[in-house]
Chains A and B, each alone.
Chain A
Amino acid sequence: MVTDLLLLLKQELLVAVILFLLLFLKLGRDRSNESTLNLVNVLLFLNVAAGFLGAKDGELFSGMFHTNALITAEKNILNLAAWLISLQAYAWLRTHRHVIEFYLLLLGSLMGMFFMISSGNLLMFYLGLEMSTIPLAAVANFDLEKRQSSEAAMKMIISSAFSSALLLLGISFVYGISGSISFAEIGAGISTEPLHILAFLLLVSGFAFKISAVPFHLWTADVYEGAPVGVTAFLSVVSKGAVLFVFVSTLYTVFKPIAPLWYNVLFVLSLATIISGNLFALRQQNIKRFLAFSSIAQVGFILVGMSGSSQAGMASVIFFILVYVFSNLAAFGVVSVVSAVAGKESIDDYKGFYQTNPFLSWILTIALFSLAGVPPTAGFFGKFFLLMAGTAKGNYWLIAIAAVNMVVSFYYYLRIVKAIFMDQNETPVAAITVPVTVKFSLYLCTIGIILVGLISWIYDTIFSLSSGL
């Protein structure tokens, strides 16, 4: 019984243990930032490794918490992403006064996501969601001396409070309609009556806010730009990945009875998201803001795959999250080290970057190629599977528009590559000495970008764990 409990809650408990260790570390004698960071990175690596051992399927707390192989895999992806981000944050955190607090908040948020992913009813889901959001608003403020950072935190907390209010309204409607908040029972009571549709849309708006689908995305750019790069990376990869996962599994299981409705909703959302994400990204000058908008467009593509409503649809979404972890973190890793060391965040600053920083230039280029979906990077396979899954529904307009937008996205991704390699600059960013941990993380991401697409085992495994309608 106890071993069951331990196994089922394994990943949550591991994060909790790390949280406690960090608390003791905080109470103990002062340590240098470097040694703390190294210790945390090792702990997070162990956390990733342990995630792959001895998983178990089952339920706890009378169905409020459930886990299975797919959920475990998803949590592993998030653990991996958190570790990679932590490695990259080294350049920024080594001079920061509140390293341990940063990790307490970040890991607290991660734990919230785990509970959200494993949630078996709406209450648990809501608690997990809030637990994952509120600490992130606090870490968004972690560039303590920058006003922009505080602004980002304020905007994030206010926007998410607003979104939570609508989400809670949706939850209470759902409870009113179906008389239950358990995922297993809601489905039976849901139909396409107007009230039901409204309740459903309120829930969707909660998800859409988190994954920054248009028109619920406006907070994204300001927060991504203002927050420290490490936090931005966490928001755009881990936080989005977690919510996307819950979104796809909820739609595919709980809201199965109204599949035709949510197919149309996804259709509208994905088109709006891809198109306006692209249009915004075209004109950005700040590279963090640029990545924010490009990641909005990426979410649009994910929604296309999600609309496939098949086993391939779910698999392509989860596979893309994995691909996205590597590609986006490679990009953010380079941006974060440039921002931390040289303090440069504008795209113009990257002109002539190759002359002084060939290593970082190549990593960033590979990452941008993968984000754009150029073969043979993982990004290509990710988008390919998403569009393939989307095609299954036979809505070729959606796919055609998505494909055209993929071409548009080439323009703005390659704009940066052009700045790096071809544009002349009198005073390029000075040569940066990249800390070893950051380098290590960048290497891991690049290897991931190259291999994840080519090793078919990865997609096949995700596919076999996924389920369709």
Chain B
Amino acid sequence: MANYSYIPWIPLLPLICFVVLGIFGRKHIGNASGIIGTLSLAVSAVLSLIAADQYFFVDGKLNGVYQKITAFKYVWLEFAPNLSIDISIVLDPVSVMMLVVVTFVSLMVHLFSLGYMKGEERFATYYAFLSLFTFSMLGLVMAGNLFQVYMFWELVGVSSFLLIGYYFEKPSAVAASKKAFIVTRFADLGFLIGILIMAFYGKTLDISTLIQKLTAVQSAEYTGMATAGFLGVSVLTWGLTLVFVGGAGKSAMFPLHIWLPDAMEGPTPVSALIHAATMVVAGVYLVARLFPVYSIDAAALTVVTWTGAFSALLAAVIACTQTDIKRVLAYSTMSQIGYMMFALGVARQGGEEGLGYMASMFHLFTHAFFKSLLFLGAGAVIHMVHSNEMKDMGGLRKQMPVTHFAFLVGCMAIAGVPLLSGFFSKEEILLAAWHSNKLVYGVALFTAALTAFYMFRLYFSIFWNKDAQAHHADKHGEGTMSMKLPLIILSILAIGAGYIPFSHFITSDGSVLETHTDIVFSVAPVVLSLLAIALAASLYRKQNDKPDKIAKAFGGLYKAASRKFYMDELYLFITKKILFPFVGQPIAWIDRNIVDGLMNGLASATASVSAVIKGLQSGKVQAYALYFFGGVAALAVLFIYLWK
């Protein structure tokens, strides 16, 4: 095995950075914190690239198939010879790809934040949190066993909570971070139960062992899981579905998506990192890691497919009606992750059938770049305009040429304009859907057109529409070099990332999958997208009253979509009107009167017994001797005569 001993440093550097900045940052390091954080992450990113190069081009392959390589393993708690909790780092094509994506996007965000967050009072704390998040995310993607996944999964949740609530003096930010935490925690409960089910029946926590055991033909573990049932559904489906629920929570899939739009209260670079490229794709990543197991259970995959497809469509419709530019991006993220999910759902293990898997990972990869580009671009716009609302923007293309260009590239990529990265990955997904399920294909195609429409609605509203307004001529202009540079680098990647022959590297079974771009197949989505862009241009390029008229024409549907289909209200109704009065209050009553009463009774009983036996402790040594002798005598009587 080749030497991967440097791998542990990739997550360790951000961890060290977190500890140092967390302890000394505010008092001693101050403004240098940003530089320290960025530099240490740059080292991590370079190491990741070296690792990717070594893995993909030098020694990852064995007989033409990419292998799992355990770069580091430490047995942490051993309960039994075959049940232990390990800390391990596993390299396989997906985790190496994620390694590169996470470190790289995080580096861009670190760099961008140097300018964006400048002058913040808690600058060092911000960088400490960023480092913690990066560490958790890296630990998550390289985890070799489910327990470690869960551990880092929660750490990711905590650090994202800290980052979303960074502006903790703003009540809305506090509420948003709480909401994100509670909703994802709720989903994590499903995840934990899922993990426990898998570990109980699979008799291991190690991912590759689990896959091996369950996918082996007629293995005891597989038969056990497939035959044991609960409520008419096999345990295997339960386990996988519950694990997926955890993933759906983090990945903001319907109906657990309600936290994502609110999470936009966090600093915008944070949204670029967490809500574009890393944390929100954790659910996709999780399904991908366990994909061989998912692929043997059609029922679970159906759940994945339809959750993904429905979320993609729903989010796209809502995105068309939002006026806060970050919320538009948030819904577009949800929509794109829906794409990745159903692409996984329609895939099967191995060969041509595995096209969806490859396409999903490909889209995850390209999406990471163009979506973080869009978020950072939005950040630059917000930095200048000091508002998130579209109506405060317009005509910014002259004042922000670099941002304008970057944003345009991002919009074109996500809309699937040919020759940009999003085009290639989206084509693969559509192709996979076409081969597997025509209905899913239809949803995907419609969503693609919607995507093109709302992205260009966003683009034209920000950069065209009205004439530039006076207050835009702000003193700090377009931002510092540290803000422009990430935009330029990410633009290049948003264009170029699609030209990587992805199917050579990441496929469901590790061997090369030959894909062929079919020009005829591409016609429909491309034409639809271009038409949608043209429609957006005609509506939003110049200020006019057509959009309002259309909104009126759609009437109730528009209103419902702009209110996010009343999902938040529904949740509030269920919790406030049903859960609290009918479940919460009775339980609270039982807790207050019966449980507490019992406890209080026990406590007072304990106290009185305690008072009685305190009398034994008289302080007289002769009495002690008596008890001592009495003790021996009592034990002797007990064991010689009574307890035979």
Contact = CB atoms under 8 A, between A and B. Distances in A.
A304 B55 CA distance: 51
A225 B309 CA distance: 71
A279 interface: yes
B628 A163 contact: yes
Contact of A268 (B619, B624, B638): B638
A261 B606 CA distance: 31
A215 B629 CA distance: 9
Interface in A256-276: 261, 264-265, 268, 276
B610 interface: yes
B617 interface: yes
A340 interface: no
Given A194-B640, A279-B613, A215 B628 contact: yes
A159 B78 contact: no
Given A159-B625, A218-B616, A408 B606 contact: yes
Given A205-B632, A218-B616, A408-B606, A261 B77 contact: no
B639 A282 contact: no
Interface of B: 75-78, 606-607, 609-611, 613-614, 616-617, 619, 621, 623-625, 627-632, 634-636, 638-640, 643
B77 A456 contact: yes
A283 B635 contact: no
Contacts of A268: 635, 638
A221 B617 CA distance: 8
Given A215-B634, A280-B614, A282-B606, 15 more contacts: A162-B625, A162-B629, A166-B628, A166-B632, A197-B639, A201-B635, A202-B632, A215-B627, A216-B631, A218-B623, A222-B619, A265-B635, A280-B617, A283-B611, A456-B76
Contacts of A456: 75-78
14 contacts: A154-B621, A155-B621, A158-B625, A159-B621, A166-B632, A205-B631, A209-B628, A215-B631, A216-B631, A218-B617, A218-B624, A219-B621, A280-B613, A282-B606
Contact of B609 (A166, A216, A219, A279): A279
Contacts of A154: 621
Interface residues of A, dominant DSSP: helix
A222 B77 CA distance: 41
Contacts of B640: 194, 197-198
Contacts of A460: 78
Most chain B Cβ neighbours within 10 Å, of A155, A163, A221, A279: A279
Nearest 5 A-B pairs (CB), nearest first? A215-B631, A218-B624, A279-B610, A194-B640, A205-B632
Most chain A Cβ neighbours within 10 Å, of B75, B614, B632, B634: B632
B606 A218 contact: no
Most chain B Cβ neighbours within 10 Å, of A201, A208, A222, A264: A201
Interface of A: 154-155, 158-159, 162-163, 166, 194, 197-198, 201-202, 204-205, 208-209, 215-216, 218-219, 221-222, 261, 264-265, 268, 276, 279-280, 282-283, 408, 456, 460
Contacts of A264: 639, 643
A201 B631 CA distance: 10
A195 to B, nearest CB: 9
Given A209-B628, A279-B606, A283-B611, A197 B636 contact: yes
B628 A159 contact: yes
A158 B613 contact: no
Contacts of A209: 628
Contact of B627 (A166, A204, A218): A218
A283 B607 contact: yes
Most chain B Cβ neighbours within 10 Å, of A159, A218, A222, A279: A218
Nearest to A154: B621
Nearest to B612: A279
Contacts of A198: 636, 640
A218 B626 CA distance: 10
Contact of A218 (B611, B628, B635, B643): B628
Contacts of B643: 264
Contacts of A221: 617
Nearest to A275: B609
Contact of A280 (B610, B635, B638, B639): B610
Most chain A Cβ neighbours within 10 Å, of B77, B614, B619, B639: B639
B607 A282 contact: yes
A204 B636 CA distance: 11
A261 B636 CA distance: 12
Given A197-B640, A205-B631, A283-B607, A219 B613 contact: no
Given A154-B621, A201-B635, A216 B628 contact: yes
A283 B635 CA distance: 28
Contacts of A205: 628, 631-632, 635
A215 B627 CA distance: 7
B88 to A, nearest CB: 14
Nearest to B644: A192
Given A218-B616, A456-B77, A265 B639 contact: yes
A283 B613 CA distance: 11
Contact of B610 (A166, A204, A283): A283
A17 B611 CA distance: 49
Contacts of A261: 639
Nearest to A269: B635
B638 to A, nearest CB: 7
A284 B323 CA distance: 64
A201 B606 contact: no
Nearest to B639: A197
Contacts of B611: 283
B100 to A, nearest CB: 31
B437 to A, nearest CB: 47
Contact of B613 (A166, A202, A276, A408): A276
B399 to A, nearest CB: 52
Nearest to A163: B628
B604 to A, nearest CB: 12
A345 B359 CA distance: 70
B101 to A, nearest CB: 31
A219 B643 CA distance: 29
A209 B627 CA distance: 12
Most chain A Cβ neighbours within 10 Å, of B614, B625, B635, B638: B635
A261 B75 CA distance: 37
Contacts of B634: 215
Nearest to B76: A456
Contacts of A204: 635
B156 to A, nearest CB: 19
B627 to A, nearest CB: 5
B636 A219 contact: no
A261 B632 CA distance: 15
A25 B630 CA distance: 47
A283 to B, nearest CB: 5
Given A265-B635, A268-B635, A280-B617, A215 B630 contact: yes
A428 to B, nearest CB: 26
